[in-house]
Structure 1
Amino acid sequence: MKTIDDLLHLGDPRLYQICEPVLPGDLPMVSTWVADLHNVMQQIRERYHFGRAIAAPQLGIMKRLIYMNIDRPVVIINPVLSNLSDEKFELWDDCMSFPNLLVKVLRHREITIDYLDENGQPQQWHLRGDLSELLQHEYDHLEGILCTMRAVSEKAFKWRK
């Protein structure tokens, strides 16, 4: 079982790699990966008091997999974003891979995400506001993009209190 000590940190070259799709032959591994993602997210919540979702590459699992747990667990496999709204909003973003740093970024107000669930069944979800931002952040991880790379300016960084 992976723990918070397995979390990749800012500067680890794996965080900048584009992830491979989860293939049909990988589906038996998804439950193990999700258990690891859940465990690490719980540890982050206990230590840092934040964390709603985590992407597989943050644990060195270089697959297109996101785990979210706000009011219920959601497994997102091979997501594709579409219908990104023209309207954007600015926010202070945080990341488990650098938990004490906040980065001011711009995100789309609304998106649509097509994905496979943990059973390999196609799903579609239209998201607004904070959930839209959250999934954009996690999707970026699958593309090797960190919120530090999306900062609105060179002064858009601050330490968490």
Structure 2
Amino acid sequence: MILPIVAYGSPILKREGDEIEEDFEDLNDLIDSMFETMYAANGVGLAAPQIDKSLRIFVVDASPFAEIEEGEEPDPMAEGLEDFKKVFINPIIEEEEGEEWPFAEGCLSIPNIREEVMRKPKIKISYYDENWEFHEEEYEGYAARIIQHEYDHVDGVLFTDRLSPLKKRLLKKKLTNIAKGDVEVAYKMKFPNKKGKR
């Protein structure tokens, strides 16, 4: 089921998600809905707080990063992303290492804004998959960045929180407009401060 994505300004996006128990009811339905919602919005990752559920789970499908236009060189940062589709339940980033690098990040909860965010290029993460199998894995490049971005969501952190105070001030009006629903968007959204909402 395609669910509305909650917009910037919604309190749930600033809250740390709750851990999921192994007997969590309708987990598969939740995961299916998260993937459907993500694909409908052309995203590469989606965390539960973005669909108004304060839970420590996110899904990713980074295959769009691996697509190459005719005549383009393959991007080494996108290596191995052709079938990088995963579910992360109760994740813990154990380590981040390397020299921070900038990349213009966007977010389905903050439409039409992209800003450079600094992150470390390598991570080690532990998590459970949709079958409750435990994994501890290392990622780098775009895979690491997508995971770091979604992991921030389950910790109640947005990519705008990682910007400089000056950059945040420059974006204030745009962010206020998003919270009010005063934004063009091609997917279902729920706005916290929309006038006329019930």
TM-score (norm 1): 0.87
53, 56, 59: which one aligns with 1:67: 59
Aligned length in residues? 151
Alpha-carbon offset, residue 29 of structure 1? 2.2
Q: Distance in 2 between matches of 1:73 and 1:58?
A: 18
94, 98, 108: which one aligns with 2:120: 108
Alignment gaps of 5+ in structure 1: 46-50
Matched with 1:48 is: none
8 Å Cα contact 2:126-2:137 kept in structure 1: yes
Alpha-carbon offset, residue 72 of structure 1? 4.8
Instruction: Say whether residues 1:30 and 2:27 are aligned partners.
Output: yes
Q: Percent identity?
A: 27
Alpha-carbon offset, residue 125 of structure 1? 1.6
- Superposition RMSD on alpha carbons, in Å? 1.7
Alignment gaps of 5+ in structure 2: 64-82, 175-198
Alpha-carbon offset, residue 14 of structure 1? 0.8
Q: Which moved more, 1:61-70 or 1:136-145?
A: 61-70
Q: Aligned ranges for residues 64-143 of structure 1 at < 5 Å?
A: 64-69=56-61, 70=63, 71-143=83-155
8 Å Cα contact 2:100-2:121 kept in structure 1: yes
Q: Which moved more, 1:84-93 or 1:129-138?
A: 84-93
TM-score (norm 2): 0.71
Q: Distance in 2 between matches of 1:128 and 1:116?
A: 19
Matched with 1:43 is: 40
Bigger Rg over Cα: 2
Matched with 2:78 is: none
Q: Which moved more, 1:77-86 or 1:133-142?
A: 77-86
- Deviations along 1:54-93, one digit per CA (max 9) or x if unpaired, are 1111001111001112325311100000221042111111
Alpha-carbon offset, residue 150 of structure 1? 0.3
Q: Aligned ranges for residues 143-154 of structure 1 at < 5 Å?
A: 143-152=155-164, 154=166
